[in-house]
Amino acid sequence: MLINIKKIFFCLTAAIICTTGLHHLKAQEPTAQLKKTTQHVINTLTDEKLSEEKQLKQLRNIVNKRFDWPNMSRRALGHHWLNLSDKNKEEFTELFSRLLEDKYLEKLKQYSDKTEIEYKNEKIDKDYASIDTIAKVENKEKVYITYRLHREQDKWLVHDVVIENVSLVNNYRSQFNSMLARMSFEKLLDKIRAKVAK
Partner 1 sequence: MSKTTILTVFLLSLSILTITPCMAQQENDQQKKINTELEEQYVPPKVQQKQVHIDDPLQPVNRVVFVFNDKLYFWVLKPAAQGYKVALPRPARKSIGNFFKNVTTPIRFTNSLLQGEFNEAGTVLKRFAINTTWGVAGLSDPAKTELNIKPQKADFGQTLGKYHMPHLIYINWPVLGPSSVRNTFGKVGDYFLDPTSYLKREAGIAATATDKINTLSFQLGRYKEIKQAALDPYIAIRDGFLQRRKALVEDKDERNTK
Q: Is 158 in the site for partner 1 (CB under 8 A)?
A: no
Q: Is 101 in the site for partner 1 (CB under 8 A)?
A: no
Q: How far is the CB of 9 from partner 1 (least distance, A)?
A: 36
Which of residues 59, 68, 111, 160 is near partner 1 by CB under 8 A? 160
Q: How far is the CB of 31 from partner 1 (least distance, A)?
A: 14
**∠71-77-83 over CA atoms, to 5°?**
100
**DSSP string covering 134-160:** EEE-TTS--EEEEEEEEEETTEEEEEE
Residue 184 CB coordination number (10 Å): 10
Residue partners of 77: CB distance under 8 A and separation at least 6:
84, 92, 173, 176
First to last CA, the chain: 79
Using CA of residue 101, residue 61, residue 68, residue 156, what is the dihedral sign?
negative
Q: Is 89 in the site for partner 1 (CB under 8 A)?
A: no
Contact pattern for partner 1 over residues 37 through 76, marking x by CB under 8 A: -------------------------------------xx-
Which backbone phi and psi does 49 adopt, to 5 degrees?
A: -75, -25
> How many Å separate Cα 186 from the centre of its chain?
27
Q: Is 152 in the site for partner 1 (CB under 8 A)?
A: no
Contact pattern for partner 1 over residues 174 through 193, marking x by CB under 8 A: xxx-xx--------x--xx-
Q: Is 148 in the site for partner 1 (CB under 8 A)?
A: yes
**For residues 47 and 141, which CB has a smaller minimum distance to partner 1 in the complex?**
141
Q: How far is the CB of 64 from partner 1 (least distance, A)?
A: 19
How far is the CA of 150 from the CAs of 25, 27, 29, 39, 173, in angstroms? 17, 11, 11, 20, 19
Residue 158 CB coordination number (10 Å): 24
Q: How far is the CB of 170 from partner 1 (least distance, A)?
A: 6
**For residues 64 and 175, which CB has a smaller minimum distance to partner 1 in the complex?**
175
Question: For binding to partner 1 (CB under 8 A), which residues are involved?
Answer: 74-75, 78-79, 82, 99, 102-103, 106-107, 121, 123-130, 132, 134, 139, 141-142, 144, 146, 148, 150, 160, 162, 164-167, 170-176, 178-179, 188, 191-192, 195
